[in-house]
């Protein structure tokens, strides 16, 4: 079964654009969980442009209370600074069920590439070990089609998250076959190495069925931007239920 983790970063973007506490990130997360979402994802950036450390701790407490997965994303190499204690320190405080490591730079608008294992593999190893010592499941953000995806297992990770942005763009262009093949190949390589497979970035109600039909063994999808976009028109609870209905179709 593929589970849905809702990324609530965009709720925090709206809140921060005006200041104050509305919309309420914690209330939005509760609404998603009430509608059946299996977990909550956030990706706090060091510049606190959306989710901040206070949000992280509040959402972690909510997920513990509900008995659902809290997935905390971040760059393990980003140094601490005012208002951001560093990814490992945040994980030590929040104790997420899953820590997803992403190689995003400060200036990036959004995550747009996976790890380069030739460059980053040995650097990742101690970070993965430290997170697993906190009882976090560790997932690494990877490019679909990367022939080195199995190296995630060698550095100690439990899962990989396939970066699905190129697939989503190819889907819109009407020619997703090659991108789907790359995603499927990476999933097969990852599973053969004993890794679980997650996926995320620009997945939506239009492209998700094709993705799940083509890519074997996807355990979890993390969806935020498109889900919040849909929720503006259909409502948050109805949108979460619509995504869950798509995920209810068995994947290969």
Q: Catalytic: which of 73, 88, 161, 220?
A: 73
Helix (H, G, I), strand (E, B) or coil at 117: helix
Query: Residue 101 in contact with residue 74, Cβ under 8 Å?
Result: yes
Q: Cβ of 128: how many Cβ atoms within 10 Å?
A: 21
Q: Catalytic: which of 38, 43, 50, 88?
A: 43
CA angle centred on 84, ends 80 and 88, rounded to 5°: 65
Is 113 annotated in the active site? Answer: no
What residues are paired with 139 via a beta bridge? 100, 159
Q: In angstroms, rounded to a whole number, what is the distance separating the alpha carbons of residues 81 and 162?
A: 29
Q: What DSSP line would sit under 216-239, residue for residue? A: TTEEEEEE-HHHHHHHHHH-HHHH
128 Cα distance to chain centroid = 16
DSSP-derived secondary structure letter, 57: H
Question: 83 CB contacts (<8 Å, ≥6 apart)?
Answer: 48, 52, 53
State how far the alpha carbon of 154 is from the alpha carbons of 36, 140, 212, 226, in Å.
35, 12, 26, 33
Q: Catalytic: which of 38, 88, 127, 201?
A: 201
Spatial CA neighbour of 139 closest among 210, 54, 222, 60: 222
Is 201 annotated in the active site? Answer: yes
Is 38 annotated in the active site? Answer: no
Q: Which residues are catalytic?
A: 43, 73, 201
């Amino acid at each position: 079964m593929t589970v849905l983790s809702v990324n609530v970063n965009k709720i925090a973007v709206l809140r921060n654009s005006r200041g104050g506490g509305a919309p309420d990130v914690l209330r939005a997360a509760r609404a998603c969980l009430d509608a059946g979402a299996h977990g909550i994802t956030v990706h706090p950036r060091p510049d606190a442009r959306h989710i901040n450390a206070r949000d992280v701790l509040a959402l972690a407490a909510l997920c513990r209370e509900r008995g659902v997965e809290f997935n905390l994303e971040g760059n393990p190499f980003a140094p601490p600074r005012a208002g951001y204690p560093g990814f490992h320190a945040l994980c030590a405080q929040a104790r997420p069920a899953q820590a997803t490591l992403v190689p995003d730079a400060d200036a990036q608008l959004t995550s747009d590439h996976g790890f380069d294992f030739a460059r980053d593999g040995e650097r990742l190893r101690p970070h993965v070990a430290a997170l697993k010592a906190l009882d976090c499941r560790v997932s690494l953000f990877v490019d679909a089609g990367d022939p080195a995806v199995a190296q995630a297992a060698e550095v100690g990770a439990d899962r990989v998250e396939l970066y699905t942005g190129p697939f989503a763009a190819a889907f819109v262009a009407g020619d997703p076959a090659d991108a789907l093949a790359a995603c499927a190949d990476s999933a097969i390589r990852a599973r053969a190495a004993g890794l679980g497979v997650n996926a995320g970035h620009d997945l939506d109600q239009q492209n998700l069925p094709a993705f799940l039909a083509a890519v074997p063994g996807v355990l979890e999808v993390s969806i935020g931007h498109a889900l919040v976009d849909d929720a503006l028109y259909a409502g948050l609870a109805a949108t979460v239920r619509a995504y869950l209905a798509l995920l209810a179709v068995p994947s290969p």
